[in-house]
Amino acid sequence: MTITLYQFATSPFTEKVRRALNYKGLAFDVHDVDRMKARSGGYAEVSESGKFPAIVHDGAVVLDSTEIIYHLEGASPEPALVPADARDAALAHAIEEWADESLYFYEMTMRLTWEHNLEAALDEFAKSLPGVPKPQLKELIRTATSEIVTAQGIGRKSRTRIIADVTRHLDMLENLLAGRDWLVGDHVSFADLAVIGQLNALLYAEEARAAADGKQAIAAWIARLDEIAPK
């Protein structure tokens, strides 16, 4: 079995896939994608849309982090990431959707459009945009991300409202984890991997770190995941 992961290293969706591969103990090579080449069709043989992560598994291309999870589950069922119980599997799906379709836009807004937080993330983004001067890179990221999150809606909220929303999301996550090891059932699932990927991106924002401070259930959950499904 040969697997190559094509990734934007800064993507929370890529983190989800890396953790899944590591949890399942699957060896894989990593190809860091040049964002400019991706935008100009330089990786069309892997992703015509220029979106990543993608994996090439024994010559077959699989796109989208969720599709990759299910593909890996079929190719290497143990240890499982999709709960065997149908209701637990449905709940894991709902939580993954919450992470991928809600938390994602909060992390984009706070990490990539608020200048003081973007500064902390800039060096990592520079690796996938080689040769772009940092002032130009910062403006490129802020402008492109602002257009996305404004169209989506969260970017039109006030900063005070966004911080309050994120605080509520983190309170909910703390309550979900209170007295239990994992978000769904008795074992790690793809829901855990989806949420931690978005959470780690969100925690680039100093406001999110302040909201997470003292949340012991979340901190313990992160430590467990880092041990058995490292990023």
54 & 147 share domain: no
How does pLDDT run across 101-113, given as a tens digit for each residue?
999 999 999 999 9
- Mapped to the 3 state alphabet, what secondary structure does the chain carry? CCEEEEECCCCHHHHHHHHHHHHCCCCCEEEECCHHHHHCCCCCCCCCCCCCCEEEECCEEEECHHHHHHHHHHHCCCCCCCCCCHHHHHHHHHHHHHHHHHHHHHHHHHHHCCHHHHHHHHHHHHCCCCCCCHHHHHHHHHHHHHHHHHHHCHHHCCHHHHHHHHHHHHHHHHHHHCCCCCCCCCCCCHHHHHHHHHHHHHCCCHHHHHHHCCCHHHHHHHHHHHHHCCC
Per the structure, how many domains does the chain have? Answer: 2
What's the distance, CA 129 to chain centroid?
A: 19
The CA distance from 190 to 107, in Å, is 19
pLDDT tens profile 130-184: 888 989 999 999 999 999 999 999 999 999 999 999 999 999 999 999 999 999 9
Give yes or no for residue 1 having a pLDDT over 90: no
The pLDDT value recorded for residue 35 is: 87
Positive/negative CA dihedral, 172, 176, 181, 183 = negative
Give the CA diameter of the chain.
51
81 part of a folded domain: no
Both 103 and 210 in one domain: the answer is yes
| Final residue before a domain boundary, out of 47, 75, 103 | 75
- For residues 45-59, b (16+ Cβ closer than 10 Å) or e, as one string? ebbeebebbbbbbee
Query: Are 153 and 124 in a shared domain?
Result: yes
Residue 38, pLDDT score:
86
Q: pLDDT averaged over the chain?
A: 96
* Phi, psi angle pair for 55, to nearest 5°: -120, 150
Count CA atoms closer than 13 A to 6's CA, side-chain side.
23
By residue range, what is the domain housing residue 25? Answer: 3-75
How do residues 4-47 score in pLDDT, each as one tens digit? 999 999 999 999 999 999 999 999 999 999 988 888 888 999 99
- pLDDT over 90 (residue 98): yes
Q: Both tokens of residue 156?
A: 């039109």
Same domain, 69 and 103: no
Full-model pTM: 0.96
- Co-location of 10 and 111 in the same domain: no
